[in-house]
Structure 1
Amino acid sequence: MRMLFMIFTIAERSFKILELPTTPTLLLRRQSHNYGYDYISPTHIELSREATRLVIRRLQRTVLRLIRDPDFIMSAEANPEMDKEHHESPFAANRKAGASGAGKQDSNCRTCNDFKSWSKQQRLISNVQSAKVKHMAAAEKLTVNAAEDPLPRDDCPLDKVRLGISTWGLLHTMAAFYSDNPTDTEKRDMKTFFEVLSRLYPCEFCAKDFRTDLDVNPINVNSQKELALWLCKFHNRVNDKLGKPLFDCTKVNERWRDGWLDGSCD
């Protein structure tokens, strides 16, 4: 019942009988077209048949729409402008879709643009593709370089830098745990250790510089605090020659024995 009501409502809106005159002439209006029917004239009879076919086709189209979607908007069927939009050509629909979607025409559609606009769009597309190719090539180059220059292994022979870091760690740790009241034997052993190290250190010019500094600034082995302070100053002199930052020697025991006061080493 609901479907029939909708069908006849649409038919009533689309086709309205204007009047029934005394003469056997009937005017039936469909949208903006008036069809006159004079049952005496053969021409009018043909017009009547054409109008009837139009009514039947319209009702058939409405029934099909209701079968596919019972909730379609009735005003779209009764509104001539909406019906006109529905029957527009695919080309017009594509143009409207492009205008409402992105505010511009399809850049790949040469026939939808003038040559200047189309050429500009093609250059933009080409530039984007070129940038993408360059980016991919750069990323591939970085990957190849990373594969060709892998990180050094931990079990490789020490170079000068790694050897120096390891040696300073050993010396500072020895000074950190040196006795506060060392015996004469402990004092002698510590002096002997530094003298031998200055002769046998694997880096030749480093060892020579080590011996020179020992001659100018003799080692102080009277206590743990004095030995740690002497070694810290010695390390700072080497850092100064290499252009590295200097260490605050008042914190030498925090660094190598007790840990930092903020508890970050606990």
Structure 2
Amino acid sequence: MWKVFIRRHSYQSKVAPNREGARLIIRRLQKTVLRILRDPDFRMSKSSFQQKPAEPEPQVDGAQFNVHRNGKPDSNCRTCNDFKSWSKQQRLISNTQAAKEKHIAASEKLTVNAAGVAAPREDCPLDKVRLGISTWGLLHTMAAFYSDNPTDTEKRDMRTFFEVLSRLYPCEYCAKDFRSDIEVNPVNVNSQKDLAMWLCNFHNRVNDKLGKPLFDCSKVNERWRDGWLDGSCD
């Protein structure tokens, strides 16, 4: 058996004379000796000492080339991934960006509040300015949809409404000025056009006292009933 061992060793030495081949032969001889010692019936074959052919390199597809150094695929490469995976990655990117923007907005809000400039609430009691804006909106809308040929009852009701409002309006000096004005310029309730024009002129007199710009009363129904002619209210 040892003669076979030596012959095989000499054969392999001729096949692989280089240094790396020699190291490989020595390792294989060591393994063979151990197997002989453990199993006396072990028989050596020529293939035990032959160098195994190099294994072919694994084939890779296009997606494997599109990898960062950290091993993660490029999320922006749609052609390197299937559509489902690509879509999922894009949603994750979008959600991350949205969360970032929301965080930035919240931080800016906290910064504003910390500086003492808090945004006004929408559910607070009305001040004089907001009350006036709301009241003018109600009055102009009522005038815009008043009847073109009102009955005597409708005329009386509308006149009474303005008289009561001038007494109950929750701004004392505003109500007093209101009463003084309608005593000089009585409410005209003869038609929709007459009421709308009377109210527009009354509003302009108030604006003039407050130093605000005057409104073109020829466009009062365009503003409060029909919408602007350019279609911007459609």
TM-score range, shorter chain: 0.5 to 0.7
Measured against aligned partners, the alpha-carbon deviations of 1:6-51 in whole angstroms (never above 9, x if no partner) come to xxxxxxxxxxxxxxxxxxxxxxxxxxxxxxxxxxxxxxxxxxxxxx
Alignment partner of 1:189 out of 157, 162, 170: 157
Letter paired with 2:183: D
**What's 2:191 paired with?**
223
Alpha-carbon distance in 1 for matches of 2:112, 2:126 = 26
Give 4+ residue runs of structure 1 displaced > 3 Å after superposition: 142-147
Tell me how far 1:149 sits from its aligned partner: 2.3
**What's 1:117 paired with?**
none
**What's 2:211 paired with?**
243
1:162 aligns with 2:147: no
**What's 1:233 paired with?**
201
Alignment partner of 1:209 out of 159, 177, 181: 177
What value does the CA root-mean-square deviation take over the aligned residues? 1.7
Measured against aligned partners, the alpha-carbon deviations of 1:152-210 in whole angstroms (never above 9, x if no partner) come to 11110000000000000000000000000000000000000000000000000000000
Give structure 2 stretches of 5+ with no counterpart: 1-107
**What's 1:99 paired with?**
none
> SS in structure 2 opposite 1:246?
coil
Count, aligned residues = 126
**What's 2:221 paired with?**
253
Comparing both structures, which one devotes a greater share of its residues to strand? Answer: 1
Alpha-carbon distance in 2 for matches of 1:223, 1:205 = 30
Give structure 1 stretches of 5+ with no counterpart: 1-139
Tell me how far 1:151 sits from its aligned partner: 1.6
Alpha-carbon distance in 2 for matches of 1:251, 1:241 = 22
Which of 1 and 2 has higher RCO (CA within 8 Å, sep 6+)? 2
Q: Percent identity?
A: 88
Letter paired with 1:262: D
> SS in structure 1 opposite 2:230?
coil
Letter paired with 2:187: I
